[in-house]
Amino acid sequence: MADHIITGIDVGTYHVKVAIARVPRGVTGTNLKPEIIGTGVAESRGLKSGYIMQESEVARSIKSALVQAEKAAGITVKRAHVAIGSIGLEELYSHGEIIPSRADSEVTNTDLEKLMQDSEERIIDHIPNRRILHAIPLRYTIDGNEVLGRPQGLRGTKLEVDSLFITTYEQHVSDLIRTIEGLGVYVEDVIASPLAASFVLLSKAQKRAGCVLVNIGSETTSMVVFEDTTPISVKIFPVGSSDITNDLALGLRVPLEDAEKIKRGAMTSATFSKKRVDEILGERLKGIFLLIDTQLKKIKRDGLLPAGVILTGGGSNLMQTVDVAKTTLELPARTAALDVGKNVKVRDASWAVAYGLCMWGASDTEETSTLGIVKHTKHTFLSWLSQFLP
Average pLDDT over residues 200-229: 93
For residue 33, the number of C-alpha atoms closer than 13 Å in the C-beta half-sphere is 11
Q: Is the pLDDT of residue 378 over 50?
A: no
pLDDT in tens, 82-124: 999 888 899 999 999 999 988 898 999 999 999 999 999 999 9
What three-state secondary structure class fits 209?
helix
pLDDT recorded at residue 306: 96
pLDDT bin (cut points 50, 70, 90) of residue 373 is very low
Residue 387 lies in a domain: no
Q: Which of 143, 167, 191 is the last residue in one of the domains?
A: 167
pLDDT recorded at residue 149: 82
Residue 234 CA, distance from chain mean position: 8
Residues 225 and 108 in one domain: no
Q: Is the pLDDT of residue 78 over 70?
A: yes
Q: Which of 109, 140, 167 is the last residue in one of the domains?
A: 167
Q: Picking from 124-138, 176-190, 209-223, 373-387, which range would have the lowest pLDDT averaged per residue? A: 373-387
Q: Count H helices, E strands: the chain?
A: 11, 16
pLDDT bin (cut points 50, 70, 90) of residue 389 is very low
Asked if residue 315 lies in contact with residue 321, where contact means CB atoms within 8 angstroms, the answer is yes
Residue 296 lies in a domain: yes
pLDDT recorded at residue 67: 96
Residues 60 and 109 in one domain: no
Residues 115 and 240 in one domain: no
DSSP single-letter state for residue 379? S
Q: Which of 109, 141, 167 is the last residue in one of the domains?
A: 167
Adjacency order of strands within the sheet including 230-237? 230-237, 221-227, 211-216, 309-312, 333-335
Q: What's the farthest any 2 CA atoms get from each other in the chain?
A: 81
Please count the structural domains in the chain. Answer: 3
Looking at 240-273, list the stretches that DSSP marks H as alpha helix, in order from N- to C-terminal side: 241-252, 256-263
Residues 225 and 319 in one domain: yes
Residue with the larger pLDDT of the pair 73 and 149: 73
What CATH number corresponds to the domain at position 373? 3.30.420.40
Residues 47 and 193 in one domain: yes
Residues 12 and 106 in one domain: no
Residues 48 and 131 in one domain: no
Kind and range of the H or E run holding 119 = helix 109-121
Listed in sequence order, the residues at least 6 apart from 156 whose beta carbon sits closer than 8 Å to its beta carbon are 100, 105, 107, 142, 143
What CATH number corresponds to the domain at position 100? 3.30.1490.110
pLDDT recorded at residue 272: 74
pLDDT recorded at residue 281: 92
CA proximity to 242, closest of 256, 254, 252, 255? 256
Listed in sequence order, the residues at least 6 apart from 142 whose beta carbon sits closer than 8 Å to its beta carbon are 107, 151, 154, 155, 156, 158, 159, 160
User: CA–CA separation, 179 vs 172, rounded Å?
Assistant: 11
pLDDT recorded at residue 211: 97
Q: Is the pLDDT of residue 390 over 70?
A: no
Residue with the larger pLDDT of the pair 272 and 316: 316
pLDDT in tens, 353-372: 999 999 888 865 333 333 43
pLDDT in tens, 32-56: 678 889 999 999 998 887 788 899 9
Q: Is the pLDDT of residue 332 over 90?
A: yes
Residues 307 and 247 in one domain: yes
CA 336 to each of CA 15, 133, 215, 308, 362: distance values in angstroms, whole numbers, following the listed order: 19, 25, 10, 12, 23
pLDDT recorded at residue 26: 63
pLDDT bin (cut points 50, 70, 90) of residue 350 is confident
Pairing mode of beta strands 130-142, 35-43: unpaired
For the chain, percent helix, then strand, then coil, each to nearest 5? 35, 30, 35
| Burial class of residue 280 (count of CB atoms within 10 Å of its CB; 0-12, 13-18, 19+) | buried
pLDDT recorded at residue 372: 39
Residue 327 lies in a domain: yes
Residue 386 lies in a domain: no
Residues 303 and 213 in one domain: yes
pLDDT bin (cut points 50, 70, 90) of residue 349 is confident
Residue 388 lies in a domain: no
Range of the domain at 278: 204-335
pLDDT in tens, 215-270: 998 888 999 999 999 999 999 999 999 999 999 999 999 999 988 888 887 776 65
Residues 47 and 117 in one domain: no
pLDDT bin (cut points 50, 70, 90) of residue 385 is very low
Asked if residue 133 lies in contact with residue 190, where contact means CB atoms within 8 angstroms, the answer is yes
Average pLDDT, the chain: 86
How many Cβ atoms from other residues are within 10 Å of residue 201's Cβ?
A: 24
Residues 253 and 367 in one domain: no
| pTM (2 d.p.) | 0.87
pLDDT recorded at residue 27: 58
Q: Is the pLDDT of residue 340 over 70?
A: no
Residue with the larger pLDDT of the pair 197 and 32: 197
Residues 182 and 270 in one domain: no
